Amino acid sequence: MKYSNLIIKVLLVVLVLSLGVTSGIAKAPSDYKMVLILPGPINDQSWNAANYAGLLACNNTLGTNMEYVENVQASDYESTFRNYGERGYDLVISAGTQFDEAANRVGPNYPKTSYCVFNGMIANPPNICPVLPKEYEASFLAGLIAGYTTKTGKIGIAGGFPNKLMIRLLNTYEYGARIGSPRVEVIRAYANSWSDVTLGKQMAGSMIDKGADVLFFYANQVGLGA
């Protein structure tokens, strides 16, 4: 499923269940105050760009007037959530599991604002709404293709940070690869960054030097270096 389609469906659910439509309150989609918080730039050709595309699709298809803020740093997560809570926003969407803890710390202080974390894993009812897409399914298929494609019997995989979701996603990729090539050698690394393009280039070069002929990067802008 494309992330843009996911965001549209999530917004429909949140608008209906969390923002008072079912309670009989007549309100046009454009009247809701909504914002999408992104950890990187909208032109990263990856995670942030996909979420931004979803925002545009929502505004064009549903008639919403969702705003966005990009390049939000970890040190600003909580203050950003507070800012929109103080301003009375109906829905605050954040893109990435890294927002989980901040949303759950700040959210309860603003019960009239719904906080939705994509790739979130912590739910704190009634106003914290995590959404966890089945990314590992696509990861499995990509790994399967890699296993059948490699000629050297070596593949390289890289993640942004070694969090629980990332480890599961790369494990699933590796599992799929071993179905295609049971003896495949997997070279795995973590960038501990979402934005260091130069590091991505270095990591890719190192994997290629070790014989990897298929690379899989799940690290936002870092992957552009590959």
Q: What is the mean pLDDT of each run of 10 residues along the chain (226 residues)?
A: 48 49 63 94 91 91 93 96 97 94 95 92 86 89 97 97 93 97 97 94 97 95 91
DSSP β-bridge partners for residue 130: 117
CATH code for residues 3-131? 3.40.50.2300
Give the ranges where the chain is alpha helix by DSSP (H). Answer: 3-17, 47-62, 77-86, 100-106, 135-149, 164-180, 197-209
**Can 3-131 and 135-225 be said to share one CATH topology?**
yes
> What is the pTM (predicted TM-score) of this model?
0.82
Query: What's residue 14's pLDDT?
Result: 52
The domain 135-225 having CATH identifier 3.40.50.300: the answer here is: no
Q: Reading across the β-sheet that carries 67-69, which strands appear in turn?
A: 67-69, 34-37, 91-95, 114-118, 128-131
* Domain range annotation of the chain: 3-131, 135-225
Compute the half-sphere exposure of residue 176: CA atoms within 13 Å on the CB side of its CA: 19
